Amino acid sequence: MDIKWLEDFVALSKSRNMFQAAEARNVTHPAFGRRIKALEEWAGVPLVERGHQVSTLNPAGRSVLAAAIDVLDILRDTRQALQKPEQARNRKITIASGKTLAHSVLPGVMAHVQQGMPAFQLKVITTTLNYGVDMLADGEVDFLLCHAHEPLYARIDNPGYRWRRVGADKLVAVSAPVTPGGRHPRYAVPKLGSDAPVPFLAYADSMSLGRILHDRLRGLCVMAQLQTLYESDLADALHAMARQGFGLAWLPHTLVDADLRAGNLVRADSARNDIHMEIRVYQSVDNAKPLAREVWGRIEAYAAR
């Protein structure tokens, strides 16, 4: 039994003409006739009453036709059901992102990307920089959204990956004011060895923000005078602690801008010492998924604005 025989038989029942059915099935008339004959041999009885112009199904043929329609419907539905997981996977984009960027930058990027596109599922995995790079290298994610940082360059700034700058930010030294609404920080960045120790709100070592800060901190202050009071892998947690007056923190400007304007936080160092950062999206050039390539094109357009 060949499924094509059943499809041919259904086509013949519709046209009632061997030549027209063969044309509809895109086969030659002799080949079509052989396939109908093969179906009859499989059934063990004639199924078609052949005329010069019209070929009609006999009672046995009508029974086979009903079964053929049911079988073809079942096979078609089964194939569609089997393909749904693969179709769903192909309509899904997975992005590894730092926790802060996942809510401060990613929504704006994706709002631009998805304009005018057919709907697709977006999965965001918030993770550390090292794990994000590993997931990108292993093909577990389609994109990596991160702050640009020197150790990152050595691993994925090479011909195997491409990137686009999708934003910029800066780390700003902040503290609660001495008095509510005041302009002077409760904890200023220590510049001299004689300065009093300052309670420090630190990023966890796994965070890219922490690494960027650590690389630059030595040139900005006397690090020995920073006494770590609190550590977290979430910038929002450091932000909340700084607002409550627990210590000095270097936080993304996008996160603290409103508080600086409202006076809930004040600068603890000069603006010239802000640590500027690029925000990038990376993709492996080997990612052949059509949707990922389409999204990359939209990211390029966003970056070129």
pLDDT at 264: 96
- Note the pLDDT tens digit of each residue in 258-304: 999 999 999 999 999 999 999 999 999 999 889 999 999 999 999 99
Alpha helices in 98-207 (DSSP H): 99-104, 106-113, 129-137, 150-156
Average pLDDT, the chain: 90
Q: Are 248 and 226 in contact (CB under 8 A)?
A: yes
- Are both 89-167+278-304 and 168-277 of the same fold? yes
Q: Closest Cα partner for 134 from 103, 96, 160, 106?
A: 96
Q: Which fold has domain 3-83?
A: Arc Repressor Mutant, subunit A (1.10.10)
Amino acid identity, residue 226? L
d(CA 55, CA 33): 11
Do β-strands 161-175 and 275-284 pair in parallel, antiparallel, or remain unpaired? antiparallel
Q: Which residue has the higher pLDDT, 18 or 257?
A: 257
CA geometry: angle 97, 232, 173, nearest 5 deg: 90
Q: Are 170 and 277 in contact (CB under 8 A)?
A: yes
Q: Which residues fall within 8 angstroms of residue 226, CB to CB, at 6 or more apart? A: 190, 197, 198, 200, 217, 248
Predicted TM-score (pTM) of the model is: 0.66
Query: How many other CB atoms are there within 10 angstroms of residue 97's CB atom?
Result: 21
d(CA 91, CA 178): 53
pLDDT at 169: 94
Query: Exposed/middle/buried for 236, CB within 10 Å: 0-12, 13-18, 19+?
Result: middle
Average pLDDT over residues 165-189: 94
How confident is residue 151, by pLDDT bands cut at 50, 70 and 90? low
Q: Which residues fall within 8 angstroms of residue 146, CB to CB, at 6 or more apart? A: 97, 98, 101, 129, 132, 152, 208, 279, 280, 282
Do β-strands 92-97 and 121-126 pair in parallel, antiparallel, or remain unpaired? parallel
pLDDT at 88 over 60: no
- Note the pLDDT tens digit of each residue in 190-229: 999 999 999 999 998 878 888 889 988 988 999 999 999 9
pLDDT at 150: 66
d(CA 87, CA 74): 20
CA geometry: angle 3, 5, 11, nearest 5 deg: 110
How confident is residue 143, by pLDDT bands cut at 50, 70 and 90? very high
d(CA 268, CA 184): 8
pLDDT at 90: 65
pLDDT at 129: 82
CATH of 168-277, one of 3.20.20.450, 3.90.190.20, 3.40.190.10, 3.30.2320.80: 3.40.190.10
Domain ranges of the chain: 3-83, 89-167+278-304, 168-277
Q: How many CA atoms lie within 13 A of 113 on its CB side?
A: 24
How confident is residue 32, by pLDDT bands cut at 50, 70 and 90? confident
Q: Which residues fall within 8 angstroms of residue 258, CB to CB, at 6 or more apart? A: none
How confident is residue 86, by pLDDT bands cut at 50, 70 and 90? low
Q: Which fold has domain 89-167+278-304?
A: D-Maltodextrin-Binding Protein; domain 2 (3.40.190)
**Rounded to the nearest 10 degrees, what angle do helices 59-90 and 29-43 cross at?**
110
Amino acid identity, residue 52? H
Encoded tokens for 64: 């086979």
pLDDT at 100 over 90: no
Q: Which residue has the higher pLDDT, 289 or 85?
A: 289
